[in-house]
Structure 1
Amino acid sequence: MNPLPLRPARVDDPAEVDRLYDICLRTGASGNDASDLYADPRLLGEVYLGAYLALEPRLAFVLDDGGDAVGYVVGARDTVAFDAACERDWWPPLRERYPLGSFPDGSPDEALVQQIHTPHRPEPGVVDEFPAHLHVDLLPAAQGGGNGRRLLGTLFDALRADGVPGVHLGVAHANVGAVGFYRHLGFTELSGDDGGMTLGLRL
């Protein structure tokens, strides 16, 4: 397929934000559609996407297919500072909207609610050398043709322009295709457990 155009995300356009939340959900099961897994269709995006659009809008880029986003990358240049901003500005209203126990114990939704109340924190040894992090999601129709590589390259150029020395991301072991893709780009494993691994790339 031909490469799709890239552009900055329209973070002030509610329709585009809704579209990106939908992409997040439709790729939220190790790259597969997670729509049937969650009772609340916006919850996954609230945890893994919304804060980046609100707090790091300059690092949000999309693949455009006829005016509609079909993939995106978002990032934070300084993970520690980003986490502090989330704690101050992003998580408090979500904690009010989603108190613990909002969904049945053991459900995917409740696992996300627990993350809202107790967010994952990066390992100090990782953020010292790889302070930035990212999330990238492409709908199946946008995969291939170098679209993912170009999308990440756009983010990497923006991070380099800000003097960021390295970037990291998390990926599930089950997402075999993504693991291979990142390794091909030069990412190396920094840490891991039974569920997944943290990969890093020096910029």
Structure 2
Amino acid sequence: MNATADNRLIRPATEGDLDALFDICLKTADGGTDGSAFFSDKRLPGYVWSVPYFKFEPECAFVLVENGRTIGYVLGAPDTARFEETLEQHWWPDIRRMIADMTPKLRDDAKAFHRINHPERTPQWLLADYPAHLHINILPGAQSSGWGRRMIDTVLDALAKAGAPGVHLGLHPQNERAKGFYSHLGFEDISRDGHVLFARRLDR
């Protein structure tokens, strides 16, 4: 277990957190707010942005728990290129079969289907210095509590121990609060090609 205070703690994710990983991902899928109204299959966001990290990089998967309830997660992959190849071989084929007969009905269905069927590969220029990446989400009612920084520190430590020299993450273009948050944590704005990207070295 990690830091505890205010009836909250950060601990490694377990199989018992899978439903929460799906749920938190859904309820933060609309730029950090609830995306439940925009996906006909409520697990679609989790298939892309949360559950595969626990499945394939469990040593870099942590959850924030409050009074026994999982209310947030931070997930990382120390080698993004390897992670993307692992998903192509061992994750996406099953998910593609699961959604094969589904048709887009709600606003973000088509976007999720595209991410599953045609996942983007991270460009080499980004991986050269920042091969790791991370995702963090906390339920809207529990945000701005100071725990986000502790969660980031936890996953950065795990990524560094796994040998990653640097880490990157992508942000929603309009998420100014997140930009300030990561800048305060020592991340540098390296946005390029229309993507909002922040990165930080881990070997200094």
TM-score by structure 2 length? Answer: 0.91
Match of 2:9 among 5, 9, 15: 5
Matched, 1:47 2:80: no
Q: Report if aligned partners of 1:102, 1:110 keep a CA contact under 8 Å in 2.
A: no
Query: How far does residue 3 in structure 1 lie from its aligned partner after superposition?
Result: 7.6
Cα displacement string for residues 66-110 of structure 1 (whole angstroms, at most 9, x for unaligned residues): 1111110001010000011001100001111112x7323894112
Alignment of 1:14-29 (within 5 A): 16-29=17-30
Q: 2: CA distance between counterparts of 1:192 and 1:18?
A: 35
Stretches of structure 2 that go unaligned for 5 or more consecutive residues are: none
Q: Report if aligned partners of 1:23, 1:139 keep a CA contact under 8 Å in 2.
A: yes
Q: Report if aligned partners of 2:40, 2:106 keep a CA contact under 8 Å in 1.
A: no
Matched, 1:168 2:152: no
1:36 alignment partner, SS class? helix
1:31 alignment partner, SS class? coil
Paired residues in the alignment total 198
Q: 1: CA distance between counterparts of 2:20 and 2:112?
A: 20
What percentage of residue pairs aligned between the two structures are identical? 41
Cα displacement string for residues 148-192 of structure 1 (whole angstroms, at most 9, x for unaligned residues): 000010001111112211000110112221111111111112233
- The 1:105/1:4 distance shift into structure 2, 3 A limit, reads closer
- Tell me which residue corresponds to 2:129: 129
- Tell me which residue corresponds to 1:38: 39
Q: 1: CA distance between counterparts of 2:198 and 2:105?
A: 31
Q: Report if aligned partners of 1:3, 1:147 keep a CA contact under 8 Å in 2.
A: no
- Tell me which residue corresponds to 2:138: 138
Root-mean-square deviation (CA, aligned residues, Å) is 1.8
1:5 alignment partner, SS class? strand
Deviating above 4 A after TM superposition, structure 1's stretches of 4 or more consecutive aligned residues are none
